Amino acid sequence: KAGVTQTPRYLIKTRGQQVTLSCSPISGHRSVSWYQQTPGQGLQFLFEYFSETQRNKGNFPGRFSGRQFSNSRSEMNVSTLELGDSALYLCASSLEFIWGNSGNTIYFGEGSWLTVV
């Protein structure tokens, strides 16, 4: 079956702009979560959605937001972009609750590379 698909793969934005990233989970998966990866801060959890509801949220400012649609596809939005937002943004999907159950497998996409100039 198709894996987790993230679009766009690469993009360049200017400071102050906003950006929307998209994630299509594996068919049948209801949980989608987002992460930011940078060389300095490593991998950081942004938020998780399950059945269109945000369930968990990491320590990021309100400029970072997301949503999930009824087909489980998810979007992440970053408004008023800052240079420090340049990062690889990873999306992950899971059949059920993303981290909880033993045996639950989490699948990551290949990420969206965002460069803010």
Partner 1 sequence: AQTVTQSQPEMSVQEAETVTLSCTYDTSENNYYLFWYKQPPSRQMILVIRQEAYKQQNATENRFSVNFQKAAKSFSLKISDSQLGDTAMYFCAFMKHDADKIIFGKGTRLHILP
**Cα-only R_g, the chain:** 13
* x-or-dash string of contact with partner 1, 30-69, rule CB under 8 A: -----------xxxxx----------xxxx----------
Torsion of CA 48, 52, 54, 55, to 10 degrees: -70
Comparing C-alpha atoms, which of 35, 61, 31 is closest to residue 46? 35
Q: Is 14 in the site for partner 1 (CB under 8 A)?
A: no
* x-or-dash string of contact with partner 1, 68-107, rule CB under 8 A: --------------------x-x-x----xxxx-x--xx-
- The residue type found at 66 is G
Structure tokens at 28: 């049948």
Interface with partner 1 (CB under 8 A)? 3, 41-45, 56-59, 88, 90, 92, 97-100, 102, 105-106, 108-111
